Structure formats: structure tokens, C-alpha cells
Chain A
Amino acid sequence: MQQGTGGSDTEVTWEDQQNINKFGRLNNRFHELEDEIKIAKETNDNLEDASNELILTDEEVVRFQMGEVFAHVPKEEVETRIEEMKEVTSKNLEKLEEEKESVLAQMAELKKILYGKFKDSINLEED
């Protein structure tokens, strides 16, 4: 992301610098959040697929992965576990989405302030 400051007239105050720093931090966090959201969505999909498979299977004992081994677990217990895991992942996903919205809002605010002061001398867009 470009953060160039051109122009010889506008002075950069400490407050401006802090705003620029904050924008940089928020932008980094935004990219991290996008990655985390992608992973959370994948995990959610996998759990969905797993519970669907579970409904289709007629075995009583399912091999459930715990750590590096596959433990033999009765079907009902596996269903409960998967439900719990789905709960956890969807709550996590919700939290991440909320944080992403907040970060975007803060970045929009800062963009207004910084473009207001520096106009063309600063570039805050993704390249």
C-alpha cells in the first residue's frame, strides 16, 4: 500500500504522523482479518460436510480425529462434538466479521482526515 507524501508545502505534524501510523496498522490488521475469515469459513464448510456425511453413514462407530490419532467414538457423541465445534467456529467467524467492519470504518475516517489535509500529496489506496 502506498503511503507516499509528496508536495513541499504541507508540513507533517506529529498528529499527522500518528494518524498515518494508525492507518498503516489498521490496514495490516484488515489483511490479517481477511485471511483469518477465509480460514474460519473453510473450517465451517468442512464441519458442515462432516456432519452431512455423518447423517448418511450407517456405521455406529465413527473414527474421530483427535490430535494425531483417530479414536473410535460412537456416532451420537461425534454428532454432539461436531455441533459444538460448529458453534465455536461460527461465533469466531461472527467476531472476525465484526472486527473487519470496525477496522474498515476507522480506515474510512482516517482517509477523510488525511486526504483532507494532504489532498494529492498522500496515497492511501491499495496498489
Chain B
Amino acid sequence: MAAASSSSASPKTTMERRGIPGAQFVEDVETYLSQTGLDVNSALAFLQERLQQYKLVEMKLLAQQRDLQAKIPDIEKCLDVVATLQAKKGTGEALIADFEVSEGIYSRARIEDNDSVCLWLGANVMLEYSCEEATSLLKKNLENAKASLEVLIADLQFLRDQVTITQVTIARVYNWDVHQRRIHQTSASTAAKDS
């Protein structure tokens, strides 16, 4: 996974990160336009399109981030329940719990001393584990989720930087164009005055 930090890379190289193209930093607008061979309008159109693509990817990443951020407290709650069951194991008394049968309807359950728990793994699959195995599996899942979230956040930061660079480039190209037109206008009017 290419993840060069943007502060150490030279401004000329366009690095990409996990499929997100990097935005090229423009040192000088005129050189940029002659290098790419585009006129102002095509350059602006290209940059705008890039901006739209970035926005799309941003939506996707934000949705993934929301999912992960919901999953993490879920896993923590499961760990808590397994820990409580383990604690009860020593005492020999049963755990009584009220659970929801349907909306607004609750029933009482008596959970006897036991050594194993069943974990829902998704895709209609539920496996039975011993309490220790369950704890370690849940802990591993929690760590994976947290690590994925970190990577995702770094991706989003990279993406937002590229969006900012593109927005600044659009503004500069546009201003350069306005500046050029003004120069041409003044030189054209002086030429008209002279002739």
C-alpha cells in the first residue's frame, strides 16, 4: 500500500494511495498549462471532474467509517457480556436477565453456569466457543476493527488534502486567466490608441 506522507514528497511527484490518484501540485500556472497542452477551459473542466471523483470516493469512505464506528462499541459490549458470564461462573449462581421478545415485550431468562458461549459470526452462522476462546476472538476482532478504522481515517485525510490542492489549483488557474485577459485588454486598447 503506497502511503508516502505528503509533507516529505517533492511537489512534482503525484503519489496515489490505495487507488486514489494524487492531485498534482502546480508550481506555476503558465508552465502547467503549456505542459498539459490544455487551454484554460479544458484545464478547469478536467480539474472540476477530478474534484467530483474525489467527492464520490469521500462519500464511500465516510460510509465505511460510520459502519466501523458503529461496529466497535458493539464488539466492546459483547466482550463485557462474556466477561460478566465468566465472573458469574465462579459463584455458582445463575444469571437472571430480561430480554426483548418483541417490541415492548420482555421475557425473563435464567442463565445457568456454563463454560461456553455462542458467537454470531454473521452470514447466518453462529459458533459455540469456550469463554476464553470467545474473549480472545472478540478481542482480536476489536483490534482489527480499530486498525481498519485508523487506515480509513488516514485515507480520508489524504483524500481531503487532494481535494484542497485541486480546489486551490482551480482558483489559481481561473485567476491567472482573468489576469491574462486583463493584460490583453489593456495592451489591445493601447494598440488601438496608438494606431
* Residues of A bordering B, CB below 8 Å: 3-8, 11-14, 17-18, 20-21, 24-25, 28, 63, 66-72
Contacts and interface: CB of A to CB of B under 8 A. Distances in A.
- Pick from B28, B106, B164 the residue with the most CB of A within 10 Å: B164
B contact residues, range? 20 to 34
Contact of B157 (A25, A69, A72): A25
- A-B pairs, top 7 by smallest CB distance, nearest first, are A8-B179, A14-B11, A72-B96, A69-B99, A70-B98, A69-B97, A21-B161
B77 A66 contact: yes
Contact of A67 (B11, B77, B172): B77
Nearest to B28: A11
B172 A12 contact: yes
A3 B168 contact: yes
A8 B176 contact: yes
Contact of B97 (A7, A17, A70): A70
A70 B11 contact: no
14 contacts: A5-B171, A5-B172, A8-B175, A14-B25, A17-B11, A17-B164, A17-B168, A20-B168, A21-B164, A21-B165, A66-B97, A67-B80, A68-B100, A69-B81
A109 B106 CA distance: 56
Interface of B: 6-7, 11, 25, 27-28, 77-78, 80-81, 84, 95-100, 106, 109, 157, 160-161, 164-165, 167-168, 171-172, 175-176, 178-179
A66 B160 CA distance: 38
Contacts of A71: 84, 95-97
Contacts, number: 73
A3 B166 CA distance: 11
A38 B171 CA distance: 36
Given A18-B6, A21-B6, A25-B160, A12 B175 contact: no
A8 B178 contact: yes
A67 B171 contact: no
Nearest to A9: B179
B80 A4 contact: no
Nearest to A32: B153
A25 B160 CA distance: 7
Nearest to A16: B168
A66 B80 contact: yes
Contacts of B100: 68-69
Contacts of A68: 99-100
With most chain B CB atoms within 10 A of its CB, the pick from A3, A21, A63 is: A21
